[in-house]
Amino acid sequence: MTASEHRPDITVAGAGVSGTTCAVALSRHGFAVTLIDDQPDAGGQVFRAPSPYAREKIRADQERKKGDRIRKHLAASGVDHRRATRIWGLTGRFELDLLGPDGMAQLRAERLVIANGAVERFLPAPGWTTPRVIGLAGASILLRGGGTLPGRSIVLAGSGPLLFSVAHQVLALGGKVAAIVSSAGLGEWIELGTKLYRDAGRLLEATRWMAQITAARIPIHYHARISDIQNLEDGVLVTICPKDRRKSSSTVKASILAYGDGLKPTTLLSRAAGARHEYDPSGDYFKPVTDTAGRTDVTNLYVTGDAAGIEGAEASRLRGLLTAHAIALDTGRITKAGFDSLAAPALRRLQKLAAISVTMRRLMRSGHDCALAIPESTILCRCERVMASAARQAVAAGARDVNQVKAWTRCGMGPCQGRSCEDGLRQILIETGGISPQDTGIFTVRAPFFPLPLSAISGEFDYDDIPLPKAAPL
Amino acid sequence: MSVTIGTAHERYDAAIIGAGVMGATTALFLAQAGMKVALIERGALFRAASGINAGTLTLHMTRAQLIPHAIRGREMWLDAARWLGEPVGAVSTHGLSLAFTEAEEALLRARARVRSEAGAPIEIISAGKAVGIEPGLNPGLRAAASCALDGHIPSYRVGAAYARALEREGVTLLEHGEVAQIATGNGGDHAIHLRDRAHPVHAARVVASGGAWLEKMLDWMGFAIPIRCLFNQLVVTEPMSEVMGSVISIANGLLSLKQFTNGSVLIGGGWQGEGTLEAGGTRVIPENLRGNVRLAQHVIPALRNAMVLRVWLGQEAETPDAMPLIGSLGPDDTRFVIGSVHSGFTSGPYMARLLADRILGGDPDLRAFDPCRFALPPATKTSSLPPTLS
């Protein structure tokens, strides 16, 4: 930990599409901007920079081209891009604790833009913690960033557009998709299709994916869920259960299962910074309360892009732009009239995209009803191996919010800070305790945001260097 | 648990404000004795200091005068099944306090003598013997104070046991009940008005057990006692293979180190962070985090391989003389206080039992904890003292 560095005008946390767009736009407004991201290159999840191997192996698609464009703009800007730097602590006074290639550092931001995107939601199913089960987003990182197939054959299950995006990526690398299990029905997907005319690029892309998937004759189970996952010697045996109970279950064998139940905002930083959060039924998640431009209830704190609510990559780009203009307005660099004229095109486009976002969020939460009866012996918190039954007992004993269940059962106390178990636990509080989603609350965030080597904190030292406070009273 | 009060005129024998270890245990013993008890909590049961403290059962860090109470409190935790209805994961271990310099050794010996005179079975042992007990220790130590009575308890889990016990004993638990004011009427009727609730809670007796909030609570009852709020830093590691078996501290009391049964190591010792009463801990001070962690690594070198999982700040309330406030707040014997107990989690159950005994008409020795000891020498009197005496 070195002494606090000079504060830049604005610090942006997260170099995905929203954060990078925002940082570049802020720099054009004349601000000194520091952009922090844990990846070596900007682009975030959707526009992830491929490894040299992946760049050679996979034909450039639209997302690659857009990502390269963003990275080019960033490189040409005056933004101070801190690569491969993780934020492990953040206070309400915007003191950021960093761990980067040069070790520990502290940075105090005058204004902070949180743009750390989305995280995948997992609703527990029996067997979800067995080996050979990975997240859809994780699979996508491996495929797109690494140019590597996670297994010879793969079952894709869950909710949201990632199902088909990952199927496309598997096929692009010459892999085999054994089945797609969608919690949404065919009708809901068709509805998304009817909305996509508002975004020509995406419509084209989706059409191409679907053609590819149809040509590969991949079995698609609509309106179905995974009811069991067995780990075999050479793969997984997945039981697919139609939501319509009149139809019978079936099984499929594959080398690997990738599953996920849509995306939710990554709220670790916005919670640590002290912003107010509320439950959003349209996405079935908690999100920071912001206005259109990303202003929060904390002065000088902005949250933009998917971190403020899931809308997708194009909307995130526009949000990042709006936030940059809003900061220029808030600091007096531009007038209200100037803001209005800069913001108008983005606002118009966002309005057009809103119908897609709403439909997409509905698809992403279509797994919600699958979680209604998480079996007692299913692991809810994989970090601490807490079963659903333990959480239900805590609720029966009087726990009324996620933090009380955490204290009494250790659910959410592990290294992921409750990211993976929070949604399943909320479901249990709602269903067993009759508690409203808003009242189930949100996990208290604590630093470090990821496990930190103790030696990175202690560094080299002599006993005499330790500033011992005066002795406690006797 | 949030309970709706059925009627406007429900009256309790005792209303206890603050559901941490002090308040919840007092409530439990009063209910066991047949009283009708309401336990009112601003947040949730056992979730402030009582649920996030270091869970130490040590005597090495206890104030000498409170050692007899800490010994009894420790016994109660180890024996929770008997009075709380279920065990709470308390583990009895050996306790070592260490000295690495000449000055620390002198301090260690002086403090060990005072504590052992107060009843703690503490003896000074050689460095070699200490390493024999705890092989992972830094062999560079000079001497250690050894105590057979020590141990730890996963404090965060204790609240669940209390929730069940309170329900069994018929205590009405009102969580998220923030007290707005207390109106005392004739015949010792206290009307406790809660924000966001239409009807006040009526009780014949009130017990203030709000931990760090005691200064504010005592102010409601006309007592001006300044209470300092400390924000003690705690660091927990990811589970790791066994690196220690005892509870370890150092001579000046600024380290507490233990490894729980799940393998995680808890590093504490009262290094301070920043915070406010309303928001709790708000900022870990980087220098203090580093200092605390260095000290731990110096004592158990294998901790250099640990992964730090969480750092947090727990509140502690301290009176001007760092001694507890336990007892009656006036001759009418309807208003009581309990709190500001140094190493309060260790001795908490016993302290609460003493207060419950007092409320039920017993006569335990609470003289040293009398809240009226601060009852105000008028300011004019102090300032009129002749300069030679001040």
Query: Mind listing the pLDDT tens digit for each residue in A178-206?
Result: 999 999 999 999 999 899 988 888 888 89
In angstroms, the CA A139 to CA A170 distance is 9
Q: Which residues contact A216 (CB under 8 A, 6 or more apart)?
A: A171, A177
CATH 3.50.50.60 fits A122-261, yes or no: yes
Give the pLDDT confidence score for residue B134 in this predicted structure: 96
Pairing label, strands B11-12, B14-17: unpaired
Q: Which helix (H) or strand (E) holds B172?
A: strand B172-174
Whether B185 has a pLDDT exceeding 90, the answer reads no
Contact residues, chain A, for B295 at CB < 8 Å: 466, 468
Report which of residues A1 and B138 the model is more confident about. Answer: B138
Section A273-298 average pLDDT: 97
Same CATH fold assignment for domains A122-261 and A374-440: no
| Segments making up each domain of chain B, as ranges | 11-50+157-226+321-374, 96-148+228-318
pLDDT at A327 over 70: yes
Q: What confidence tier does A7 reach under pLDDT thresholds 50, 70, 90?
A: low
Provide mean pLDDT across the span A305-312. Answer: 97
* R_g over Cα of chain A: 23
Which chain B residue lies closest to A90 (C-alpha atoms)? Answer: B283
Using alpha carbons, list the distances in angstroms from residue B272 to A256, A445, A464, B289, B290: 48, 19, 20, 9, 12
Q: Alpha-carbon dihedral of residues A187, A191, A197, A200, nearest 10 degrees?
A: -70
pTM of the model as a whole: 0.92
Tell me what pLDDT residue B9 has: 61
Say if residue B68's pLDDT is above 70: yes
Q: What is the pLDDT of residues B94-103, one digit of tens each?
A: 999 999 999 9
Top-confidence residue, B374 or B297: B297
In A139-223 the beta strands, taken as DSSP E runs, fall at 153-159, 176-182, 220-221
pLDDT at B388 over 70: no
pLDDT, tens only, A397-407: 999 999 999 99
| Cα(A175)–Cα(A77) distance, integer angstroms | 39
Which comes out higher in pLDDT, residue A235 or A4? A235
Instruction: Tell whether B141 is within 8 A of chain A (Cβ).
Output: no
Which pLDDT does position A205 carry in this prediction? 87
Which residue would you say has higher pLDDT here, A63 or B58?
A: B58
CATH of A10-119+264-334, one of 1.10.3720.10, 3.30.70.100, 3.50.50.60, 1.10.150.530: 3.50.50.60
Evaluate the CA torsion angle B213, B215, B217, B218 in order and state its sign.
Answer: positive
Strands (E), A316-443: 379-381, 386-387
Band of residue B386 on the pLDDT scale cut at 50, 70, 90: very low
Report the percent of chain B where pLDDT is more than 90. 86
**Would you state the pLDDT for residue B289?**
96
CB-based contact, B257 to chain A, within 8 Å? no
Give, in order, the Cα–Cα distances in Å from A281 to each of A17, A361, B311: 25, 10, 32
Rounded CA separation A345/A367 (Å): 35
Architecture of the A374-440 domain: Orthogonal Bundle (1.10)
A111 has pLDDT over 80? yes
Predicted pLDDT of residue A372: 67
As a whole number, mean pLDDT of residues B105-118 equals 96
Confidence of residue A5 (pLDDT cuts 50, 70, 90): low
By Cβ distance, the residue of B47, B282, B291 closest to A91 is B282
Q: Which of B160, B252, B290 lies closest to A458 in CB terms?
A: B290
Q: In angstroms, rounded to a whole number, what is the distance separating the alpha carbons of residues A251 and A240?
A: 6
pLDDT at residue A368, rounded to an integer: 81
Residue A1 has pLDDT above 60, yes or no: no
The CA distance from A403 to A401, in Å, is 6
Long-range CB pairs of B24-27 (<8 Å, 24+ gap) are B24/B50, B24/B162, B24/B166, B24/B352, B25/B162, B25/B348, B25/B349, B25/B352, B25/B353, B25/B356, B26/B207, B26/B209, B26/B338, B26/B352, B26/B355, B26/B356, B26/B359, B27/B166, B27/B171
Q: Is the pLDDT of residue A103 over 50?
A: yes
Average pLDDT of chain B is: 92
Q: What is the mean pLDDT of residues A126-149?
A: 94
Give the closest of B159, B289, B342 to A407, CB-based. B159
Is the pLDDT at A376 greater than 60? The verdict is: yes
pLDDT above 70: residue B214: yes
Query: Of the ranges A60-64, A299-303, B195-199, B278-282, which one carries the lowest mean pLDDT score?
Result: A60-64
Average pLDDT of B10-14?
92
B159–A447 CB contact, under 8 Å: no
pLDDT at B339 over 70: yes
What pLDDT score was predicted for residue B297?
98
Say yes or no for a CB contact (<8 Å) between A458 and B100.
no
For the record, the structure tokens of B296 come out as: 């731990």
Mean pLDDT, chain A, whole residue set: 94
A interface residues, B as partner, C-beta within 8 Å: 1, 89, 91-93, 95, 97, 106, 394, 397-401, 403-404, 407-408, 410, 414-415, 446-448, 451-455, 457-459, 461, 463, 465-474
Predicted confidence band of residue B376 (pLDDT cuts 50, 70, 90): low
Q: What number is the average pLDDT over the span A8-19?
A: 95
> Which residue bears the tokens 């406690």?
A472
Query: From CA B327, how far away is CA B359, in angstroms rounded?
Result: 9
Q: Give the torsion sign (CA, B329, B65, B312, A461).
A: positive
Average pLDDT over residues B184-210: 90
CA atoms within 13 A on the CB side of A428: 32
B238 closest CB neighbour out of A89, A93, A451 = A451
Alpha-carbon A274 to chain mean position: 19
Structure tokens at A19: 């954060």
Q: Are the Cβ atoms of A473 and B284 closer than 8 angstroms?
A: no
Question: Given a cut of 70, is residue B383 above it in pLDDT?
Answer: no
Residues A436, A222: Cα–Cα separation, whole Å? 29
Q: Identify the pLDDT of residue A260.
A: 96
CB of B291 within 8 Å of a chain A CB? The answer is yes
Domain map of chain A by residue range? 10-119+264-334, 122-261, 374-440
Q: How confident is the model at residue A243 (pLDDT cuts 50, 70, 90)?
A: confident
Q: Which of B1, B173, B322 sits opposite A473 (nearest CB)?
A: B322
- The CA distances from residue B307 to A85, A381, B266, B310, in Å, are 18, 20, 12, 9
Residue A60: predicted pLDDT? 83
| Dihedral of the alpha carbons of B248, B250, B251, B255, in degrees to the nearest 10 | -110
Between CA A369 and CA B266 the distance in angstroms is: 40
Mean pLDDT of all residues in A124-141: 94
| pLDDT tier for residue A371 given thresholds of 50, 70 and 90 | low
User: What are the residues facing B208 on neighbouring strands?
Assistant: B17, B337
In sequence order, what are the residues at sequence separation of 6 or more whose Cβ sits closer than 8 angstroms to the Cβ of residue B120? B59, B62, B67, B71, B147, B149
Position A470, amino acid:
K
Contact check, Cβ <8 Å, A447/B311 = yes
> Taking a C-beta distance cutoff of 8 angstroms, is the pair A356, A192 a contact?
yes
- DSSP string covering A283-338, please? TTEEEE---TT-B-SSTTEEE-GGGGS---HHHHHHHHHHHHHHHHHHTTSS-HHH
Confidence of residue B331 (pLDDT cuts 50, 70, 90): confident
Nearest of A431, A251, A410 to residue B238 by alpha carbon = A410
Q: How far apart are CA B184 and CA B190, in angstroms?
A: 4
B11-50+157-226+321-374 classified as CATH 3.40.50.360: no
pLDDT(B2) > 50:
no
Q: Looking at the predicted structure, is the pLDDT value of residue B378 above 60?
A: no
Confidence tier at A375 by pLDDT (50, 70, 90): very high
Q: Which residue has the higher pLDDT, A15 or B220?
A: A15
3 state DSSP class of A280: strand
Cα A284 to Cα A371: distance, rounded to the nearest angstrom: 13
CATH code matching the domain that covers B96-148+228-318, chosen among 3.40.50.720, 3.40.50.300, 3.30.9.10, 3.30.1340.30? 3.30.9.10
Give residue for tokens 């206070």. A91
Query: pLDDT digit string (tens) for A431-445?
Result: 999 999 999 999 999
Q: Hunting for tokens 């406070």 — which residue is that?
A: A469
Residue A212's pLDDT is 94
Q: Which residues contact A234 (CB under 8 A, 6 or more apart)?
A: A255
Compute the average pLDDT of residues A98-107: 93
Give me the pLDDT at residue A427, please. Answer: 93
- Helix residue ranges per DSSP H, B33-168: 49-52, 67-78, 80-84, 102-117, 127-133, 155-168
Q: With the CA atoms of A193, A195, A197 and A202 taken in that order, what torsion angle do they form, in degrees rounded to the nearest 10?
A: -60
**Whether pLDDT at B6 is above 50:** no
Q: How many angstroms from the chain centroid is the CA of residue B76?
A: 14
Q: What is the pLDDT of residue B130?
A: 97
For residue B289, which of A95, A158, A361 has the smallest C-alpha distance? A95
Q: How far is B344 from chain A (nearest CA, A)?
A: 14
CB contact under 8 A, B271 and A469: yes
User: Phi-psi region for residue B262, left (φ > 0), alpha (ψ -120 to 50) or beta?
Assistant: alpha
pLDDT at A308 over 70: yes
Structure confidence at residue A199 (pLDDT): 87
Q: Is B154 helix (H, G, I), strand (E, B) or coil?
A: coil
